[in-house]
Amino acid sequence: MELPKSRLGHKSHIQTIDGKQTSYEVVDEELFLAPSNNRKAFCLHKLRFGDGREVFRIAYYMIAEKPRMRGKWAYGQFAPMMTEEEMRMIFEKVRAKGWM
């Protein structure tokens, strides 16, 4: 199955948790099919905000089932963004638990 379209270079505006508007660009990306299910793809993004700070996002796509998007890749809109330090901490905890 063909992978979803790349978001590399994609620019977007979001509202922060405190209600302010900000923008970011996808500056690097790794996109791959899930080995357990070819109807799911994982996406690792490096994002750069307008103020220069960089964060990471772990996202996913699924082949949609609802009529409007059926059979197409649908982006998982609730993907967490985290700093490099936070991502490192997550993976350290995964290793400490013996999950990886």
Query: Per-residue confidence of the chain (100 residues) as pLDDT tens digits?
Result: 788 999 999 999 999 889 999 999 999 999 999 988 889 999 999 999 999 999 999 999 999 999 999 999 999 878 888 999 999 999 999 999 999 8
- For residue 4, being part of any structural domain is answered with no
Domain contains 50: yes
**CB 16, CB 24: distance < 8 Å:** no
Q: Would you say residue 61 lies in a domain?
A: yes
**What DSSP designation does 98 have?**
T
92 belongs to a structural domain: yes
**Assigned domain for 6 exists:** no
Answer for the pair 56, 43: CB distance below 8 angstroms, yes or no. Answer: no
Domain of residue 49, residue span: 11-96
Domains of the chain: total? 1
